[in-house]
């Protein structure tokens, strides 16, 4: 069965923003969808988040997809780095993702080592990165990094801020369309 893991960001939680809507829409398409509560989301630690993902998706295959929001994106990339050589997933959608601590010391544990782009691509061939034209935290230059390093398809949404429920974003059709397109 096709599975999708929706991974929230810093201070996020499963029921926040567009995740419940996306879960419902993907289930209508026949996916099994999990939205885990990531550990200690107010004070996230990469080791805890990685361990949690490794337990949840212990035996991934090409019918397994990930959608991350904000800090959830680097958690997915770190998870992909940790996979065994033979393990592959079907694809990943990175919403408001980034590759540095954005000036927040609280996020340092996720960026203590360089991102191993080659290893990530050996476990996943299909990426889509969705960014907002006016994200107050994540500059659009990160879209270029995902395009250059992962060959990601880039979608730039207008005026969606950081794609959070606090920004009034409770549906994200581009994320749904991106997951469905990854299967092709």
User: What are the catalytic residues?
Assistant: 70, 135, 162
List residues bridging with 7 in a β-sheet.
68
**Each residue of 12-41: b (16+ CB within 10 Å) or e?**
bebebbbbbbbbebbeeeebebebbebeeb
**C-beta separation of 114 from 46 below 8 A:** no
Percent composition of the chain: helix, strand, coil (DSSP 3-state, to 5):
40, 15, 45
**Cα–Cα distance, 38 to 139 (Å, whole number):** 24
SS3 5: strand
Helix axes 46-56, 71-82, angle to 10 degrees: 60
Residue 15: how many CA atoms within 13 Å on its side-chain side?
A: 0
């Amino acid at each position: 069965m096709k599975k999708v893991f929706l991974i929230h960001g810093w201070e996020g939680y499963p029921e926040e923003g567009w995740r419940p809507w996306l879960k419902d829409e993907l289930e209508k398409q026949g996916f099994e969808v999990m939205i885990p509560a990531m550990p200690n989301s107010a004070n996230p630690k990469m080791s805890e988040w990685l361990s949690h993902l490794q337990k949840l998706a212990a035996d991934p295959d090409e019918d397994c997809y990930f959608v991350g929001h904000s800090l959830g994106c680097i958690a997915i990339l770190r998870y992909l780095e940790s996979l065994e050589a033979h393990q592959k997933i079907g694809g990943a959608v990175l919403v408001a993702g980034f590759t540095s601590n954005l000036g927040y010391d609280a996020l340092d544990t996720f960026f203590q080592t360089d991102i191993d782009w080659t290893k990530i691509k050996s476990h996943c061939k299909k990426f889509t990165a969705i960014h907002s034209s006016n994200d107050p935290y994540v500059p659009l230059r990160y879209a270029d990094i995902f395009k250059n390093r992962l060959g990601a398809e880039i979608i730039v949404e207008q005026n969606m801020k950081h794609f959070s429920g606090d920004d009034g974003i409770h549906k994200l059709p581009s994320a749904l369309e991106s997951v469905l397109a990854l299967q092709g």
